[in-house]
Homo-oligomer: A and B are copies of this chain.
Amino acid sequence: MIFWKTFFQNSAVNESYEKNFKKLFLLDKTCDKIELKDVYISNTKNINLYELEQLCDSVGWVKRPLKKVKIALKNSSIIISLIQKNDSDTRLVGFARATSDNGFNATIWDVVIHPDFQGLGLGKVVMHQLIQQLRQAEISTITLFAEPDVISFYRKLGFIRDPDGVKGMFWYPR
């Protein structure tokens, strides 16, 4: 079994990265750390809107007005992002956010991992981090709306579908 773990990044990276970003390592069976692709996890709300648009494009999501995306990010309680960073470049490769009343309830939106980084368990890393932060904020009910193809992914993370017959419902403008 392999699993991801976050560590505070080492001193090789610059100051601004030290504050908000943690380097991701993969641990193998022997708990030897394997640094993979220089991926960092962050809870900064300072997201580059164009990079987010590119990331969403990469998984085929419908384009959204950046002005509204900016407002939505500003009004999200928690944002988790994954950044690939090397000497010359940075790139947003994973993202998720949650709205919340910061008291009882939260709803998770826009969970996305770049296709080049899928299958590495990074979706779980992002979700674990989101859940951990919501639990730290003493949020008792964490909700989301899952497309059919990702229901089993969320179930493995402990999410329950339609508990006690409670149904997710949507109202769309007509």
Which of B74, B77, B143, B174 makes the CB contact (< 8 A) with A170?
Answer: B143
Taking CB atoms, residues of chain B closer than 8 Å to A162 are 167-168
Q: Determine whether the beta carbon of A109 is less than 8 Å from that of B99.
A: no
Taking CB atoms, residues of chain B closer than 8 Å to A151 are 167, 169
Q: Determine whether the beta carbon of A102 is less than 8 Å from that of B143.
A: no
Give the size range of A's interface with the partner: 35 or more
Copies in the complex: 2
In chain A, residues 54-100, which have Cβ atoms closer than 8 Å to a Cβ of chain B? 64, 68-77, 97, 99-100
Q: Determine whether the beta carbon of A143 is less than 8 Å from that of B141.
A: no
- Kindly name the residue among A73, A143, A154, A164 whose own CB sees the greatest number of chain B CB atoms within 10 A: A143
The yes or no answer to A159 lying at the interface (CB within 8 A) is yes
Q: How far is the CA of A99 from the CA of B144 in the complex (A)?
A: 13
**Minimum Cβ distance to chain B for residue A174 (Å):** 8
Q: Determine whether the beta carbon of A171 is less than 8 Å from that of B159.
A: yes
Q: Determine whether the beta carbon of A143 is less than 8 Å from that of B169.
A: yes
Taking CB atoms, residues of chain B closer than 8 Å to A143 are 107, 145, 168-171
Q: Determine whether the beta carbon of B159 is less than 8 Å from that of A144.
A: no
Q: Interface readout for A138-171 with B: 1 if CB under 8 Å, 0 if not? A: 1011111111100100110111111111111111
Q: Determine whether the beta carbon of B172 is less than 8 Å from that of A146.
A: no
Other contacts beyond A143-B168, A162-B168, A166-B170: 10, CB < 8 A: A70-B103, A71-B101, A72-B104, A75-B100, A99-B105, A147-B165, A148-B164, A159-B169, A160-B169, A160-B172
A interface with B by C-beta (< 8 Å): 64, 68-77, 97, 99-105, 107, 109, 131, 135, 138, 140-148, 151, 154-155, 157-174
